[in-house]
Each structure stands twice: as C-alpha cells, then as structure tokens.
Amino acid sequence: MPIIHMTIPPLPHYIIGGYTLAPAGRKHPSRRNIEVFDLLVVTRGCLYIGEEEQHYEVSGGHALILRPDAYHYATRACQEQTSYYWIHFQTTGQWGLSEEAIAEERVVGTKELIEKAKERVLSSSFYTTQTFTKQLPQFTKLLQPSKMESLLNQLVLLNMNDHIPSVKWKQQLAFQEVIEHLSASMETQGPTPSALCAEQAASYLREHYRDNITAQELGESINFHPVYIARCMQKEFGCAPFDYLMRFRIERAKLLLLQTDLAVARIGEEVGFNHAAYFASCFAKYEGISPRKYRQRFSHG
C-alpha cells in the first residue's frame, strides 16, 4: 500500500474543506494535477475512485489521500447515498511515495543521546532547523472514525469565520490532529481496548444523539460497564459520555443554524432537546452566545 512521506518542518497546511452528501448515482469528479493533496474521509456509503492505475473503494470509516501530481477519476457511481468530508491541503516541503513504511530509527541509549547532544552543541548547525519524516498511508481504515469525524466537522464549521486570523490558527491546529490520526492508523498493533470502547460509545452516541440516552442504555448497547465507558471516553476524548453527546448536539445545531431557516426551537428538537429554553441554555454554555445571536452574527458577518 502506498505510503506518503513528508519532510517536516514545514508542516503540511490546511487550505479548504467541506462535507458532501452524494446521492446514489453521483460520481466523484475526475481531475488531473490539481496541485494540492485531496483527503477524502467517508462516513457512510462508498466512493469508487481510481488514481492512475490504482483503484480504491473508500467505504465508511476509511480515508484516501489523492496526490497533487496524479490523475484521479471515478471508477463507478455511488451505489447508495454516501457522505464524506474532503480536505485540500499542501506542503511546501519535500514529499515522496513508497510501497512500504520506512522503519523507525532505532532507540538509542542514554549515553549515546548525551554524546549526540554534545556534538550538536559543538557543531555550527546547533541552531539550524532539525527536520524529520512524517508518514501517511494513502489509503487506510481509520483507528477512531468518530474522533476523526469530530475534527473534520470542527474544520468545516471554522470555515464560516476563516477570515479571522485566530480562526485560521485554530484550523491549522485541528488539521495537525487530523494528520496525526492518519499517521496513527498505520500502527500495526491496532487500537487499545480503551480506544475501542471509547470509539464504540462515541459511534452509538452520534447515531442516537436525538434520543434520551442514559448511561445504562449506553452500557447495555455496547456491552461495557458505564463506569468503564466513562473512564475510556475521558482518556480518549477528554470528556465524559454525556459531555461528548452534548458537544455533538451543539455542533449539529450550529450546522442547522447556519445552513437552514428552521426556527431555533425546532432546531433544538432536531438535535435532541425537548425544551427550547434548555437548548438555548446549553448552547450558550458551550458557545458563549445564544443560538439566535450565533445565527445573526454569521448572517451579518
């Protein structure tokens, strides 16, 4: 499987991205030498894509990076409704392609590390930039699809205000996490039990976010004790299951506020809130602004 190698620094940088819901029968566009990398992450359905002589079936939970210097095309139309994120990115550093990963440098002992440090101090290159290689699989099954989807959704939402320098900075930080997740999917040992539990819980919460979910129901659905689930999600996502669910509901609400004309109360219902006042309170807690003002700020921006 092709591996993309990038010399870092400079860091690969995010350019633009989006979310597409393709109906059955639609094909991915054919393009040649687009001069940027095109990352495709499918959440549901399947994209059928070729690049030069290589053909890929990119199904839910998989990612494909299309090269900037190659010809890519649809090998067939979507057979079902297919949802996916697309990200254009680039690097101004060197990059290349190989059929297998490069072995990591062997771990050196403490004594050798000290000697190398002394050499650097004495050499004229002490203050020069030290580069290294980042390896990315061109096509991979993601270790934590829900975590990747959260990051990509964050990037798409940040597009709304990317004329603000601080927002552009947040985009680049989020994108570096995307790169790290792609790189991590090359790990041969696979996800840890903690990561597997957290991923299953996150997937269930995202699928049933409109419902009133209890800790017991979540535990029964994925066959783990609620306390263990909470511990795993705190470790992998940095928050408890209920907080993860609330954050996801708020993210969905933000999309509806920006992309539809639905009333605020109706949007609250759509994302799992039974009472408009509670929705407004939770939204303000997480975003620091009411749903109505969030919509107004963007529409008048």
Contacts of 183 (CB under 8 A, 6+ apart): 134, 135, 136
Angstrom distance (rounded) from CA 237 to CA 168: 23
Angstrom distance (rounded) from CA 104 to CA 38: 26
More confident of the two residues 128 and 201:
201
pLDDT band at 127 (very low <50, low <70, confident <90, very high): low
pLDDT digits (tens, 9 = 90+) for 180-232: 999 988 865 567 888 889 989 999 999 999 999 999 999 999 999 999 999 99
Q: Do 202 and 260 sit in the same domain of this protein? A: yes
Residue found under tokens 């029968």: 25
Question: Which CATH number goes with the domain that contains 36?
Answer: 2.60.120.10
Structure tokens at 170: 């947040």
pLDDT at residue 113, rounded to an integer: 46
- DSSP code, position 6: E
**Residue 200 located in a structural domain:** yes
**Residue 108 located in a structural domain:** no
Range(s) of the domain holding residue 87 = 3-98+134-143
pLDDT at residue 277, rounded to an integer: 94
pLDDT at residue 90, rounded to an integer: 96
pLDDT band at 105 (very low <50, low <70, confident <90, very high): very low
pLDDT at residue 40, rounded to an integer: 97
pLDDT at residue 72, rounded to an integer: 94
Contacts of 119 (CB under 8 A, 6+ apart): none
CB burial of residue 242 (10 Å; 0-12, 13-18, 19+)? middle
pLDDT at residue 121, rounded to an integer: 47
Q: Do 20 and 139 sit in the same domain of this protein? A: yes
pLDDT band at 101 (very low <50, low <70, confident <90, very high): confident
Compute the mean pLDDT over every residue in the chain, rounded to the nearest whole number: 87
Q: Do 211 and 138 sit in the same domain of this protein? A: no
Q: Do 138 and 10 sit in the same domain of this protein? A: yes
pLDDT band at 245 (very low <50, low <70, confident <90, very high): very high
pLDDT at residue 173, rounded to an integer: 94
pLDDT band at 178 (very low <50, low <70, confident <90, very high): very high
Give the three-state DSSP class for 238. Answer: coil
- Whether pLDDT at 68 is above 60: yes
Question: Which CATH number goes with the domain that contains 269?
Answer: 1.10.10.60
pLDDT band at 132 (very low <50, low <70, confident <90, very high): confident
Give the three-state DSSP class for 107. Answer: coil
Number of structural domains, the chain?
2
Residue found under tokens 């929705």: 279
Q: Do 88 and 212 sit in the same domain of this protein? A: no
First to last CA, the chain: 45
What is the pTM assigned to this prediction? 0.69
**Residue 161 located in a structural domain:** no
- Residue 131, φ and ψ in degrees, nearest 5: -95, 160
- Whether pLDDT at 133 is above 90: no
Angstrom distance (rounded) from CA 114 to CA 118: 6
Q: Are the CB atoms for 80 and 60 separated by under 8 Å?
A: no
**Residue 151 located in a structural domain:** no
pLDDT at residue 124, rounded to an integer: 47
**Residue 111 located in a structural domain:** no
**Residue 253 located in a structural domain:** yes
Residue 40's Cβ-side half-sphere holds a number of Cα atoms within 13 Å equal to 27
Q: Do 198 and 293 sit in the same domain of this protein? A: yes
pLDDT digits (tens, 9 = 90+) for 258-296: 888 999 999 999 999 999 999 999 999 999 999 999 988
Residue count of the chain? 301
Angstrom distance (rounded) from CA 38 to CA 3: 15
